[in-house]
Amino acid sequence: MKKKTTTLLLSIMLVLSLLLAACGSSENGGSASPGGSGSEAGANDSEAVELTMAFINLGTMSDVAAVQEEINKITKSKINATVKLMPIDIAAWNQQVNLLLAGNEPLDLLVTSSFFNYSSQVAKGQLLPLDELLEKYAPEIKNTMPSEIYNGTKIGGSIYGVSSIRDVGADYGMVMRKDLIDKHSIDLSGVKTFEDLGTVFQTIKDKEPGIAPLVQSTQTGTVAYQMYTPQIDPLGDSLGVILLDSNDLKVVNLLETDIFKNKVTLARKWYEAGYIMQDVATTQEQGSSLVKAGKALGYFNNMKPGFEAQESKTTGYEMTSVHLSEPVIQSNGASGFMMSVPRNSENPERAMQLLNLLYTDAEVMNLLANGIEGKHYVKNEDGTIKLPDGVKETTYQFNQWEVGNNFLTYVWEGTDKDIWKQTKKFNESAKVSPALGFSFDATPVKTEVAAATNVVNQYKVGLESGSLDPALIEEYNEKLKAAGLDKIIAEKQKQLDEWAAANGK
């Protein structure tokens, strides 16, 4: 019996390995041929191709096919290619992209981001270097954005992604219900620092029982986080940061900085004073829903021009704000959202031509961002756009910040007409992190990062929202060190130094 089993298992292995060899060779064949044929096809545009473009989806996209058809009319005549739009839900994004890139499915343009493993995708050879392609097929893109943003996506000296043109910087502060501020005649002009907000909170707490003066916009966008972030560059995962004021490239442990300790202590003080909603660390409601439900005055957030208008729409109350930091652009300013060409692409040249359209062709970009005129929006006289009459909810909602040149698109009613001009000015005025363009590749220390991430998950939200005693910072720090934080910081410093040397910083 034993012997039989062994023979059997061996024969199964044999069958399997034969099958494997078959798949293996077909894979090799598959990846070898497109390279050859691709370059030929790219050289002349005579042959029509279909390009697949994957991007992050959050809203309703039921009309994506109709929009795609309209876009194709233009791309067909301009670059002799059609586009297949592939929206992927944000919650499935990591997994789907991992699988798409592991296989050989057609995929020509892909949204990439330092929030979604950009550097390890490059390290694993999943993305193509774009410098030559950009030079040859999309030379105009370079002129649409500042050069530090254009070059800010480089890894090892090559560009692997093209940043979308958006608000690359952010300033930090608080948005709150204007009606409550007016009702209690609170003077916001005196509020210059986060610390100054204490008196505002006290007033609301005393006069508006049932309304929490402060909540969090999201669970991880904690109270303390919003206060210390304008002073640091998290270099990706906050495991080892640089201090923006020191203006050098020394990676330090965030937990051991005074900034962190002060802000966490302040959050704790507010929490104990009852300014912060008591279940803030575990609520499943976003700050905007809590405001909408009449349970909160407001929340801290990273802001940009037009932010108050945006939040007013979301919460259903008119919102006002205090800006408590200067605008900053951190290391991920460029790599926050980009378009890349994956290794899967059979037509990188044509993909690049399409990308060029997204930065230069207002018609294509407007279709992609806002949908079809008359169906998904109508134009006002002043040039802004709105939903067509009788349409309550759009059937095409694209999150345009992730892709292309947003400055080419129409502005929605309710937002300032010159919002793009303001955004441009905002970006230009921002303080730029000396590490702008640096992307940390966590692969060499992945064991440590995996362990440290679990520790962060355990303490971060509780401590930074004021729900836990700041005395725990020490314990938090010890556990992070046990998980290998020092090794992560050392690796980060090493990569940062190499990057600085390569980029002449």
Q: Which of residues 324-353 bind another protein (CB under 8 A)?
A: 336-337, 343
Instruction: Say how many residues touch another protein, by CB under 8 A.
Output: 116
In this structure, are residues 242 and 249 in contact, taking their beta carbons and an 8 Å threshold?
A: yes
What b/e string do you get for 442-463 counting C-beta neighbours within 10 Å, with b at 16 or more?
beebeebbebbeebbeebbbbb
**Minimum CB distance to another protein, residue 96 (Å):** 7
320 lies in the binding site for another protein (CB under 8 A) = no
Residue 199 falls in which region: left (phi positive, over 0), alpha (psi -120 to 50) or beta: alpha
User: Judged by CB under 8 A, which of 35, 193, 293, 469 binds another protein?
Assistant: 293
DSSP class of 453 = H
Token couple for 25:
């060779």
- Say whether residue 117 binds another protein (CB under 8 A): yes
| CA pair distance 297, 299, nearest whole angstrom | 7
283 binds another protein (CB under 8 A): yes
CB of 337 to another protein, least distance (A): 8
Site for another protein in 387-446 (CB under 8 A): 392-393, 397, 399, 401, 442-443, 446
Q: What is the DSSP letter of 433?
A: P
- Among 483, 485, 488, 496, interactor with another protein by CB under 8 A: 483
Work out how close the CB of 209 gets to another protein at its nearest, in angstroms, rounded to a whole number.
Answer: 13
Check binding of 120 to another protein (CB under 8 A): yes
Residue of 144, 163, 164, 302 interacting with another protein (CB under 8 A): 302
CB atoms within 10 A of CB 316: 12
Minimal distance, residue 52 CB to another protein, in Å: 10
At its nearest, how many Å lie between another protein and the CB of residue 80?
25
Q: Which amino acid is at 462?
A: G
| Residue 218-247 contact track with another protein, rule CB under 8 A, x = bound | xxxx---x-----------x----------
Residue 33 engages another protein in binding (rule: CB under 8 A):
no
Strand (E) or helix (H) holding 211: none
Q: Torsion angle of alpha carbons 165, 166, 170, 175, nearest 10°? A: 180
Contact with another protein (CB under 8 A): which of 38, 109, 167, 406? 167
CB of 294 to another protein, least distance (A): 7
Nearer to another protein, 19 or 48 (CB): 19
* H or E stretch at 159: strand 158-159
Q: Write out the two tokens for 231.
A: 């002073």
The yes or no reply on residue 160 touching another protein (CB under 8 A) is: no
Of how many residues is the chain composed? 505
Residue type, 441: D
The only residue of 41, 83, 181, 449 in contact with another protein, by rule CB under 8 A: 449
Q: Does 356 sit near another protein (CB under 8 A)? A: no
Question: Residue 505 CB: number of other CB atoms within 10 A?
Answer: 14
Distance CA 277, CA 167 (A): 30
Which residue, 75 or 335, is less far from another protein as judged by CB?
Answer: 335
Q: Which of 129, 158, 165 is nearest to 144 (CA)?
A: 165
Q: In whole angstroms, what is the distance from residue 234 CA to residue 22 CA? A: 46
CB of 225 to another protein, least distance (A): 8
Task: Compute the distance between CA of residue 384 and CA of residue 375 in angstroms, rounded to an integer.
Answer: 15
How many whole angstroms separate alpha carbon 152 and alpha carbon 159?
Answer: 8
Structure tokens at 432: 């730029």
Q: Which of residues 452-481 bind another protein (CB under 8 A)?
A: 453-455, 457-462, 467-468, 479
- 307 lies in the site for another protein, by CB under 8 A: yes
Beta carbon of residue 213, minimum distance to another protein (angstroms, whole number): 15
Q: How far is the CB of 393 from another protein (least distance, A)?
A: 7
95 binds another protein (CB under 8 A): yes
